[in-house]
Amino acid sequence: MSQTPRDYGKLYKELMRNAGSRMKQLNRRALQREQAFREAARQRYSWRDPQVPGDRGIFTRLLRHEIDRLVAKLASTECVDERIYLKSEIAQFRERLEALSGGRKRRPPESGLSVPAVPPRGPIPKQGGAAASLEFGD
C-alpha cells in the first residue's frame, strides 16, 4: 500500500493549461446569464403607465392600484381608529403619486426659510497669514 508521491509541478501545469481560455468562457457565460436575467426583469416589469414616461410609470401604476385597494378597504371598515389610519395612508400615497407624476415640483425643506440678502460680515482676516491679536477692547 505504498502511495506514489504526487508531482505537484505536473498537477499545476495540467490545472493551468488553457486557464485563460476557460476563464474567458466562464466570464462570457456569466455575462450571458446576467443579460438574460436583466431582460427577464425588464419584461416582468414592462407594464408601464402610458401617461407617465420612463420607469416612474411602474410606480405610479402600483400606487394607483394600492390607493384603490385602500379606498375599498376604507369603505368596508367601521372601526374609527382603522379609518383614521387608512385615510392618512391614502393621503400619503396620493401625495407621492402627485410628486411622481410631476404635478408638484419638489423643493428642499429649507427653501421656505428667509435668509438675509447680504450675509453678515465679521472682522476682516489679517493679510499674509498674520495671527489676530488676543487683546479685547480696552
pLDDT one-digit tens code per residue, 91-127: 888 888 887 766 656 667 666 777 666 666 676 666 6
Q: To which residue does cell 505536473 refer?
A: 10
pTM recorded for the entire structure: 0.38
- Per-residue b/e over 33-59, b at no fewer than 16 CB within 10 Å? eeeeeeeeeeeeeeebbeebeeeebeb
Q: 64 and 93: one domain?
A: yes
**Residue range of the domain that includes 25:** 17-46
Residue 77 forms part of a structural domain: yes
Residue 131 forms part of a structural domain: no
Closest to 45 in 3D by CA, of 36, 35, 55: 55
Taking the C-alpha atoms of residue 137 and residue 10, their distance in angstroms, rounded to an integer, is 87
The predicted structure's pLDDT at residue 105: 63
The predicted structure's pLDDT at residue 45: 61
Mean pLDDT of 34-50: 70
Mean pLDDT of 29-53: 71
Residue 119 forms part of a structural domain: no
Has residue 49 got a pLDDT over 60?
no
